Amino acid sequence: MIPGGESTAMLKLMEPGRLDREIARRAEAGMPVLATCAGVILLARAVRPEQDSLDLLDVDVVRNAFGRQAYSSVTTIEVNGELGGAPQMEAVFIRAPQIDRVGDGVEVLGRLGAEPVLVAAGAIIAATFHPELSADRRIHRLFCNRAEAVHG
């Protein structure tokens, strides 16, 4: 799990023990990863404004694209059938990044309008919002199911 928070601070905290390299090594070996909000920034191939990342997910993101803290919101997003249940779910956006490019091999599982907000590639699931702040547990179940598929 790579949570929300402040991505540049998270990178600095990972640096002394080289945790960033260990996460990247394990994810590349198939370790399941669920990233939310700032976690998506850490996984992205490219980040604007430019900053380092783990480059594990073929997406480009824009930090804080939905605005400052005062513009945080709870809204409904459209989700695809893989999540099961209703075609919509509640999503809590807090200074959320925006995915502005999705690469080959990355599937879009959820959208806010035309914008991808929930994506997956193999054992990696990334949400630009905070699914842990909603009562809907479908993303968590999907993560557990994919983890079990990878590791039995």
Question: Which residues belong to the active site?
Answer: 37, 130, 132
How many other C-beta atoms are found inside a 10 Å radius of the C-beta of residue 74?
13
Per the CB < 8 A criterion, the answer to whether 118 and 77 are in contact is: yes
What DSSP state is assigned to residue 14? H
**Beta strands at 98-102 and 57-62: parallel, antiparallel or unpaired:** antiparallel
